[in-house]
Structure 1
Amino acid sequence: MPSVSMRHAVRAIILDEGDRILLCRFAIPDPAGTVVWAAPGGGIEPGETPLGALRREVREEVGLLIEADPPHVWHQEVVAAGHAAGYDGVINDYFLVRTVPFEPRGELSDDELAAENISELKWWSLPDVCGYHGPDLFSPRDLAGLLGTLLTSGAPTRPVPLGL
């Protein structure tokens, strides 16, 4: 059986005091014009720990410095050709980060963000996510349900396994 090459990534569920979640709008050119709102984060580089990667990605993309070790709340594995360029799928580990409201602006320039397919950063309330009926997708697809459970029950003792 051929080996499967998975992209290991970390993502931050950043919630402010009003329980709004900060999401990045990823405009992915292939498949044609897919737009996905997802938590900030990205790939773990060689020699990097997951929390080290999380701190770097969040600082670069949205400008938030994560000092404490946030709880690991969700674990997602998606094996699907084409889901991540050059890989057979992705493994996303999500960490819960609580913060005061802030204006997201990371270290990356607009051009660098565009190179990562990020076209916008936006705070969303749970009702906004639940009530969204536009063409864009959320990742994970059941973000509204997962976020509702997280807000109601708090961080789980073990990461919750997710689907697509």
Structure 2
Amino acid sequence: MSERIVRPTSRLLVLDDHDRVLLMRTVAPDSSRSARWITPGGGVDPGETHVEAAVRELREETGQVVTEVGEVVRVDDFEVSWDDADHTHGHAEFFVVRLPHFEVVDDEWTDEERTDILESRWFGLDELTATDEPVEPEDLAEFVRRVLSAGSTA
């Protein structure tokens, strides 16, 4: 793919009332089909803002309905190296959402999500720091630490 194609996404750092972060173990869009833990979220649809996408993605991927997600707390721009990706670059805007602990509801998952999402799990900061499994972004534990230290309640 020689043309630069950017996929805008909204990602959610979902924290429960015990300061655990919700992650989803998903299959990478690559012929390797390797798994990694990521925050809920996904693509911004045409005509949609990042905030609107974050609200929608939270509902679709977890079953949780919110009306707002606060301000952007992080922006990542990156090159995509997956061989099966339909884009060359990503632009991710992160939001923090604090909710009482809940179990993920998959009623609105797409067929693709049912194939690509292997499991969901709440991670405490110590667990996240200690895991040897791949996480994205790679500095996710430090990001969560900073958000918890700042007392973000978006």
TM-score (norm 1): 0.83
Q: Are the aligned partners of 1:51 and 1:69 in contact in 2 as well (CA < 8 Å)?
A: yes
User: What is the aligned partner in structure 1 of residue 28 from structure 2?
Assistant: 28
1:147 CA displacement: 0.8
User: What is the aligned partner in structure 1 of residue 19 from structure 2?
Assistant: 19
Judging changes above 3 Å, is the alpha-carbon distance between structure 1 residues 8 and 109 closer, same or farther for their aligned structure 2 residues? closer
Alpha-carbon distance between aligned partners in 2 of 1:102 and 1:76, rounded to the nearest angstrom:
28
Alpha-carbon distance between aligned partners in 2 of 1:142 and 1:109, rounded to the nearest angstrom:
27
Q: CA RMSD in A?
A: 2.0
Matching of residue 148 in structure 1 with residue 145 in structure 2? yes
Kindly provide the CA deviation profile for residues 104-141 of structure 1, in whole angstroms up to 9, marking residues without a partner as x: 113335845224x11111111000101112xx310110
User: What is the aligned partner in structure 1 of residue 105 from structure 2?
Assistant: 105
Judging changes above 3 Å, is the alpha-carbon distance between structure 1 residues 52 and 4 closer, same or farther for their aligned structure 2 residues? same
1:69 CA displacement: 3.7
TM-score (norm 2): 0.88
Alpha-carbon distance between aligned partners in 2 of 1:132 and 1:114, rounded to the nearest angstrom:
24
User: What is the aligned partner in structure 2 of residue 73 from structure 1?
Assistant: 73
1:100 CA displacement: 0.5
1:38 CA displacement: 0.6
User: What is the aligned partner in structure 1 of residue 126 from structure 2?
Assistant: 127
Identify unmatched segments of 5+ residues in structure 2.
Answer: none
Q: Secondary structure of 1:10's partner?
A: strand
1:51 CA displacement: 1.3
1:56 CA displacement: 1.1
For residues 44-83 of structure 1, the aligned pairs below 5 Å read 44-82=44-82
Aligned residues: 151
Alpha-carbon distance between aligned partners in 2 of 1:112 and 1:86, rounded to the nearest angstrom:
14
Alpha-carbon distance between aligned partners in 2 of 1:84 and 1:150, rounded to the nearest angstrom:
33
Judging changes above 3 Å, is the alpha-carbon distance between structure 1 residues 141 and 102 closer, same or farther for their aligned structure 2 residues? same
Q: Are the aligned partners of 1:83 and 1:89 in contact in 2 as well (CA < 8 Å)?
A: no
Q: Which amino acid aligns with 1:45?
A: D
Judging changes above 3 Å, is the alpha-carbon distance between structure 1 residues 110 and 75 closer, same or farther for their aligned structure 2 residues? closer
Percent of aligned positions that are identical: 30
4+ residue stretches of structure 1 with deviation over 3 A? 109-112
Q: Which amino acid aligns with 1:142?
A: D
Q: Secondary structure of 1:72's partner?
A: coil
